[in-house]
Structure 1
Amino acid sequence: MTLNEPVSELDLASLLAGIEHPAILLSMDYEVLASNRRYQQNFGEIAEGERCYRVSHGYDRPCDQAGESCPLAACKQSKDKERVLHIHNTPRGREHIDVEMLPLKDASGELLYFIEVLKPVKIASAEIHRERMVGRSPAFNRLVELINLVAPHDTSVLLLGESGSGKELAANAIHEASGRADHNFVTVECAGLTETLFESELFGHVKGAFTGATNNKPGLLEDAHGGTLFLDEIGDVPLGMQVKLLRLLETGSFRAVGSTQLKRADFRLVCATHKDLPAMVTAGEFREDLYYRLNTFPITLPPLRERPDDIALIARSLLQKLSPEGKYHLTDSAIKRLQAEHFPGNSRELRNVMERAIIFARSNVIDAQVLEHCLEPQRQATVNTVEENWVDLPTQERDYLQRLLAHCGGDKAKAAEIAGISVRSLYRKLEGSADTQD
């Protein structure tokens, strides 16, 4: 914005009232000169003479001097609008904020002031949360920034990353931040589906289309109308079905199995896979044209080992989800122990560890000693050298499985899933045949 005539700070402050988001007026040296009502409602009043970096972060110097990106410093350099995702201190705790910095110049192009617009990001949490993605690390913030950037558009998104890294949570976050949030978010699990079953699930079928089709059945595409369709593990879609999926994306239309009636499709597509799709294209296992149709906006989710600073927050969020009454306390020694783990199963594996920890904990405190019972034996980095009343391994294993089964209310399938064994093996081990292998 360019000012042709001298304007008082009071007049500039009045500009903030017309901004629909929380906003503040800043001087060249980071002083907060004014704030609008929306800012005051969301973040509170600002004392006279305060600097933005002290109010938002508690820093004693500008963000770029404290190891973070500074939109005001970037704005000074570019003399244009800048945008960045930050974590701000708020009355509700630490929150992800989409910060937009707008420069105000005089008629000659010299910078005079800045307007900082702050848009709270609701799809992720920088505090303990049972449902949302949680994190504060640079890798996580970059992920949230990309999701927040693409969500308002109808662009197809391809989520890449290791198993258990949170791709479905990210897909749901894209949906919740989009203009389609009031409609359905529909998940299609592509793994293990045959071509015929996949087509019927996605497109639906009419009565008599095949043996067993005794009624008309609408497909998941109709459930997703106006909303978001999430194809999980897209790399497992059969080659024959890939052709039909490509046609759907290019024409926006489909037919139910056994029907001649053409239907229009209206959905936003998000796909996910842990597989190397370019390698599959080279091997002839995935269509190249479909790959490029899906790969419009790729987002790679960082594995847990690249987010060690987030492990405490994720673990505590998982504990609160597993035990809603929130009675378990994770000690500093437990956090350090978890941060030393590689976690090839990522957040899904960490969840299993937390559920085991609840079972093994003799009180509401989960420390490093409790975790030694919960982590995979072949990956344990420490050995407990304290003298104990040692018993043989089968007895220890049987004791663990009995406590696990009690925790699961006698549900053997759930207990076997947590223990990482088959139900058949669970029976054998409980009966004492621990020497029998799966």
Structure 2
Amino acid sequence: MVSYLEYDRQPAIVLNPQYEILAANRAYQRQYGVQGQAHVGRKCYQVSHHYEVPCDQAGEHCPMKRATETQGADRVLHIHHTPRGPEHVDVELRPIFDRDAQIVAYVERLATVRGASARPSADGLVGRSQAFNEAMLSLQRVAPSMLPVLLLGESGTGKELFAHALHEASARAHGPFVIVDCSGITETLFESELFGFEKGAFTGATGRKHGLVETAQGGTLFLDEIGDVPLAIQVKLLRLIETGTFRRVGSTETQRADFRLVAATHKPLREMIEEGTFRADLYFRISAFPVHLPPVRERLDDLPILADSILQRVASGRPDVSRKMILSDEALALMRAYPWPGNIRELRNVIERASILTDDGVIRPEHLPEGFGAQIAVIPPAPFPLTPSAVRHLSTAALANIAAEFRGTRSELAAHLGMSERTLYRRLKTGSCQDKANSLS
């Protein structure tokens, strides 16, 4: 089996049902081994997560448990500890059966996800929360295909960055990534911008112009805010997608289109169909693979690295900043409790403003917008002071009592405590806290 895996270019390991790494191919040793050692003999969760218990006992999705239950393959996107630091890793695990149809081992193939960072980064997508990882796994699954992808989510959730990550993970990564801002083009100009035009097609057309569809040949065409496309243009857009052909304005010659379609919107397209403002046939063509992009309030665990990433970008663009800027615990606690209706865009504005107001590089509550605390979503009050040092020194018993008295969800309690939901889950699962953990849904 190991000899067979040596022909696999992706890192791969063999595990027994007790989570022990039995063998690893050279690709794994190069990418994840430490000083030439491939972690053979160690538990997989100790290597990948630095846990002392299997992933499912630490609040994670465990592919081995799922594969054992279904007697089939399982796939998940995890944050793994690697020699380069934490990274997003696409994990695919398949069971190996003996003659009696009993599982005797598992083969796990790993692929590092390049389109996102699990650490603060001045460029690209950043995140490590469960909601973020689920969106990234969906992109990883659909990227190798040619299916049209529809990115759904509130305004400011980073649709363009997700679309670019999908392009980079596809076989068309070498081709162009062309963005069409559907909300920024008037109806009269939409057709000529999309399909191009011939010389003399209309007043001012002094020469031939290639449209955005032609520019995207061999790559990805990203239709941002497709819900804003006028009905008259939706018909021509549908024909483009269905036939793969188009004509420049003023031309009778049919051109072949060769692009991967990715669309995005924050509008309720199904409701628009009922209202007659969006074509049902176009919707079903573009929504072959819908992906929900989570708002900030669903990925509060990402706030610290999102804030650090934004501060890195601020520092890179301001030569007057001579020191690293950080968020105080108090400011972070307020930000965790805020609903962020403007999502990443609003978060960036708040942090950039605060970075200007601070003199010592530490962003405190007074640097946040006026009335910021008053806009916090209504959540049942916590029966304890939100002092970070006090939270860190809470005993297991004290934390269990707080969980029993708190009237809210686990994510809300974690926000009040200023810790991640995963950390809270692990602490509540120790000792006599098991029942309390189960009661917080």
**Shorter-chain TM band:** 0.7 to 0.9
1:252 matches 2:244: yes
- Residue 176 of structure 1 is matched in structure 2 by 168
Residues 115 and 124, structure 2, Cα contact 8 Å, conserved in 1: yes
Q: Is the Cα–Cα contact under 8 Å of residues 372 and 380 in structure 1 kept in the other structure? A: no
Residue 48 of structure 1 and its aligned partner are, at CA, apart by 5.1
Whole-angstrom distance in 1 between the partners of 2:232 and 2:202? 18
1:317 aligns with 2:309: yes
Alignment of 1:243 with 2:235, yes or no, is yes
Give the C-alpha shift of residue 109 in structure 1: 1.9
CA distance in 2, matches of 1:63, 1:293: 39
Aligned to 1:207: 199
Question: Residue 23 of structure 2 contacts residue 40 of structure 2 at CA under 8 Å; is this kept in 1?
Answer: no
Aligned CA distance change for structure 1 residues 66 and 363 (closer, same or farther; 3 Å)? same
Instruction: Output the CA distance in 2 between the equivalents of 1:148 and 1:48.
Output: 28
Tell me the equivalent position of 2:7.
Answer: 18
Matched position secondary structure for 2:214:
helix
Distance 1:237 1:300 in 2: 21
Match of 2:275 in 1: 283
* Aligned sequence identity (%): 54
Indicate if the aligned counterparts of 2:15 and 2:21 stay in contact, CA closer than 8 A: yes
Which amino acid in structure 2 is aligned with residue 37 of structure 1? R
Q: Which residue of 2 aligns with 1:365?
A: 362
1:75: which partner in 2?
67
Q: 1:186 — aligned with what? A: 178
Q: Which residue of 2 aligns with 1:8?
A: none
How many residues are aligned here? 370
| Uncovered stretches (5+) of structure 1, i.e. residues with no partner | 1-11, 382-438
Length-normalised TM-score, structure 2: 0.81
Aligned to 1:352: 349
In structure 2, stretches of 5+ residues that fail to align are: 317-321, 378-441
Instruction: Check conservation: 2:334, 2:373, Cα contact below 8 A.
Output: no
Q: Separation in 2 of the partners of 1:62 and 1:300? A: 29
Letter in 2 for 1:367: R
Displacement of 1:312 in angstroms is 1.1
Q: Is 1:152 aligned to residue 133 of structure 2?
A: no
2:23 — aligned with what? Answer: 34
The alignment status of 1:262 with 2:254, answered yes or no, reads yes
Following superposition, the deviation at residue 66 of structure 1 comes to 1.5
After TM superposition, give the deviation of residue 377 of structure 1 in Å. Answer: 8.3
Q: Is residue 2:332 matched to residue 1:335? A: yes
Q: Distance in 2 between matches of 1:361 and 1:78?
A: 54
Question: Contact 2:354/2:363 (CA < 8 Å) preserved in 1?
Answer: yes
CA-to-partner distance for each residue in 1:5-34, whole Å, 9 max, x for gaps?
xxxxxxx43333222111111112111111
| Residue number in structure 2 paired with 1:142 | 134
| Larger displacement relative to structure 2 (221-230 or 12-21) | 12-21
The answer to whether 1:121 aligns with 2:110 is no
Distance in 2, Cα, partners of 1:33 & 1:112: 12
Amino acid at match of 1:39: Y
Q: Does the CA-based 8 Å contact 2:350-2:369 persist in structure 1?
A: no
Residue of structure 2 in register with 1:224 after alignment: 216
Structure 1 residues 265 and 372: alpha-carbon distance in aligned structure 2, compared to 1, 3 A threshold? closer
Query: Per the alignment, do residues 26 and 245 of structure 1 end up closer, same or farther by CA in structure 2, a change over 3 Å counting?
Result: same
Counterpart CA distance in 1 for 2:23 and 2:364 is 48
- Aligned equivalent of 1:105: 97
Kindly provide the amino acid, as one letter, of the partner of residue 334 in structure 1.
A
Match for residue 132 of structure 1?
124
Q: 1:292 to 1:228 in 2, by over 3 A?
A: same
Q: 1:204 to 1:47 in 2, by over 3 A?
A: closer
Give the CA deviation at 1:331: 2.2
**Residues 128/326 of structure 1: CA separation in 2 closer, same or farther (3 Å cut):** farther
CA contact (8 A) 1:16 1:25 kept: no
Q: Is the aligned partner of 1:379 residue 2:371?
A: no
Map of 1:274 onto structure 2: 266
Cα RMSD of the aligned pairs, angstroms, is: 1.8
Equivalent residues in 2 for 1:415-434, closer than 5 Å: none
- In the TM superposition, 1:35-54 aligns within 5 A as 35-44=24-33, 45-47=37-39, 49-54=41-46
Deviation at 1:343, TM superposition (A): 1.2
CA distance in 2, matches of 1:266, 1:175: 14
Distance in 1 between the 2:93 and 2:166 partners? 24
